[in-house]
């Protein structure tokens, strides 16, 4: 329908109504009406105005009903509203509109929002008391996701605000399933996190807490206790070297980052969480003094993934030696370049020589870090990022590999390339993702020596531009004539071009 059939009739009706009203009022005014008669006319006009207003609202509703948004299902509207929450990692003054405007887009959306308890289960503190009651009521019995960040603009009454956060948190403890604390002592008018939690929470049990994230900027050396027997995930970042007393015997994921803890202190932390399945440690304090107390072994029998990033090589080697993990645990390591401190990098990585069957090497430019991935016969993957490694050195320490995948735009100089290939006498699969020019240098290296390099090579991966070329056919004929025929040639590409500079 391009035009409503009633539009013309409505226009005629409105014109007639205006003319009728004008005539009647002019006649009334000409006869010098009494006050009672004038009030009756005014009352009638008000009633007509209200009816017309209701009609306008009705027309607007019908107009909205024709829009695309009005045809969205309740389920889709609910999903949209989930993404309309403000970023609660930022600070909310008590007067901030923490209810997203989209919740009141129209009567229908407002009704959907009010009837969706999970939309009200995310509570930033501090929050106005009336708003807090509103959120709590509308969330019904849903577990709560609470975010704490004190005001970053100290003012009169700020200490009262910190007390308000503490007392509110205490009241919400039985319902909290996720808790995120972003606390800067300067923002919190000098009130450290530890004493504040101890004062208001003490050892009160967070019975349903499953995920805890703490970001704490402070030089104060206060510890505190969080009793969360059902906690599963813990992210901890702190500028000082104090780790809180977290009571969580069944913790399965731990992330420690940007902390002043030394690696022996981190090992002491790990002892409290024997059920860990994933452990990530990055950006810790460097340069542990060996004169400190002895470091004892830590057993993590359920660990599936271990990540240690930005460690000195000495600390890395010592930490690895003191963590007892299953042979199937995947390991990701990032070593700071030039940080050997008496530890030889080649000896450090050679501990995985016997169990490794496959390796992938990413190298984006000369002088940059190698990213190596070893895959063991048991399925374990070991990722090591370091600048203290060359291809020939790597080959010398891993001569028994069966599968080698190289991703690099520049191969080593010819002599070092031949040296590296000479170590890999057992490989059956070799793939090299590089430029066509560099790949031709690889072919020359494989043809250079009197003894056939990589004699058991059967599957050869090459760049797309080299497949089927006369140069490739010449190389394949060479291998066939040498009694080391290649059975399959396939095209390969870099797995992650954006990361490795392709």
Task: Give the pair of three-digit tokens for residue 170.
Answer: 């205490």
Torsion sign across C-alpha atoms 129, 133, 138, 140:
positive
Exposed / middle / buried, residue 420 (Cβ in 10 Å: 0-12, 13-18, 19+): buried
Q: In whole angstroms, how far apart are CA 433 and each of 375, 412, 463, 491?
A: 19, 14, 6, 9
CA-CA distances (angstroms) from residue 292 to 60, 287, 371? 76, 12, 33
Question: Strand 403-407 vs strand 429-433: parallel, antiparallel, or unpaired?
Answer: parallel
State the Cα–Cα distance between residues 313 and 341, nearest whole angstrom: 7
Contact yes or no for 443/418 (Cβ under 8 A): no
For 356-372, the pLDDT digits (tens) are 778 788 775 545 567 88
Closest CA to 394 of 375, 366, 365, 417: 417
> What is the reported pLDDT for 336?
78
Q: Are 147 and 125 in contact (CB under 8 A)?
A: yes
Q: Contact, 139 vs 127, CB < 8 A?
A: no
The dihedral built from the CA positions of residue 425, 427, 433 and 436, taken in this order, carries a sign that is: positive
Looking at the DSSP assignment, which residues form a beta bridge with residue 183?
Answer: 216
Q: Cα separation of 441 and 416, whole Å?
A: 12
Which value, in Å, is the radius of gyration of the alpha carbons in the chain?
35
Q: What is the rounded distance in angstroms from the CA atom of residue 172 to the CA atom of residue 280?
A: 30
Regions of the chain where pLDDT drops below 70: 1-6, 32, 86-97, 151-158, 185-191, 218-221, 286-294, 337-343, 354-355, 364-369, 388-389, 493-502
The string of pLDDT tens digits covering residues 216-249 is 876 666 788 899 999 999 999 887 778 888 999 9
The confidence score (pLDDT) of residue 16 equals 84
Contacts of 4 (CB under 8 A, 6+ apart): none
Report domain extents, the chain. Answer: 36-66, 359-377+400-502
> What is the rounded CA–CA span in Å between residue 101 and residue 82?
12
State the Cα–Cα distance between residues 63 and 118, nearest whole angstrom: 30
Tokens of 93: 């003054």
Q: What is the pLDDT of residue 398?
A: 84
Give me 59's structure tokens: 């027309």
Structure-block tokens of residue 338 = 């030039």
The span from the CA of 42 to the CA of 53, in Å, is: 16
- Residue 398 neighbours by CB under 8 Å, 6+ apart: 350, 353, 356, 359, 374, 423
Number of other CB atoms surrounding residue 76 within 10 Å = 10
């Amino acid at each position: 329908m391009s035009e409503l059939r009633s539009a013309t009739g409505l226009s005629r009706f409105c014109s007639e109504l205006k003319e009728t009203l004008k005539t009647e009022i002019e006649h009334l005014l000409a006869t010098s009406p009494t006050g009672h008669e004038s009030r009756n006319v005014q009352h009638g006009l008000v009633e007509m105005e209200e009816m017309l207003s209701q009609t306008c609202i009705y027309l607007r509703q019908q107009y909205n009903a024709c829009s695309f948004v009005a045809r969205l299902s309740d389920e889709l509207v609910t999903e949209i509203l989930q993404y309309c929450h403000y970023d609660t990692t930022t600070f909310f003054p008590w007067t901030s509109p923490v209810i997203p405007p989209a919740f009141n887009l129209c009567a229908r959306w407002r009704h959907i929002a009010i009837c969706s308890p999970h939309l009200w289960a995310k509570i930033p503190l501090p929050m106005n008391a009336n708003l807090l009651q509103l959120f709590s009521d509308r969330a019904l019995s849903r577990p709560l996701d609470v975010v704490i960040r004190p005001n970053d603009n100290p003012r009169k009454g700020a200490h009262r605000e910190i007390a308000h956060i503490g007392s509110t948190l205490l009241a919400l403890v039985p319902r909290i399933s996720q808790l995120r604390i972003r606390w800067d002592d300067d923002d919190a008018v000098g009130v450290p996190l530890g004493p504040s939690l101890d004062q208001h929470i003490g050892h009160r049990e967070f019975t349903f807490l499953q995920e805890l994230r703490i970001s704490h900027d402070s030089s104060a050396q206060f510890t505190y206790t969080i009793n969360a027997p059902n906690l599963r995930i813990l992210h901890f970042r702190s500028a000082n070297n104090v780790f809180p007393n977290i009571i969580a015997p069944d913790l399965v994921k731990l992330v420690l980052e940007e902390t002043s803890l030394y690696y022996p202190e981190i090992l002491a932390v790990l002892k409290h969480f024997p059920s860990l399945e994933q452990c990530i440690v990055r950006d810790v304090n460097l340069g542990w003094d060996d004169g400190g107390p002895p470091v004892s072994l830590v057993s993590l029998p359920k660990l599936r993934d271990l990540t240690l990033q930005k460690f000195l090589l000495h600390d890395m080697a010592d930490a690895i030696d003191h963590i007892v993990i299953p042979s199937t645990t995947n390991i990701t390591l990032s070593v700071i370049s030039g940080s050997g401190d008496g530890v030889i990098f080649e000896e450090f990585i050679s501990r995985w020589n016997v169990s490794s069957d496959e390796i992938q090497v990413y190298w984006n430019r000369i002088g940059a870090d190698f990213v190596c991935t070893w895959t063991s016969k048991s399925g374990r993957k070991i990722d090591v990022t370091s600048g203290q490694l060359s291809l020939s050195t790597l080959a010398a320490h891993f001569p028994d590999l069966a599968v080698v995948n190289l991703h690099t735009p520049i191969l080593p100089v010819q002599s070092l390339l031949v040296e590296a290939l000479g170590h890999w006498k057992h490989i059956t699969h070799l793939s090299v993702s590089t430029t066509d020019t560099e790949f031709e240098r690889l072919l020359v290296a494989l043809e250079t020596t009197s003894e056939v390099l990589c004699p058991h090579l059967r599957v050869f991966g090459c760049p797309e531009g080299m497949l089927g070329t006369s140069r490739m056919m010449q190389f394949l004929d060479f291998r066939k004539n040498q009694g080391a025929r290649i059975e399959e040639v396939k095209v390969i590409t870099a797995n992650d071009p954006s990361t490795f500079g392709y």
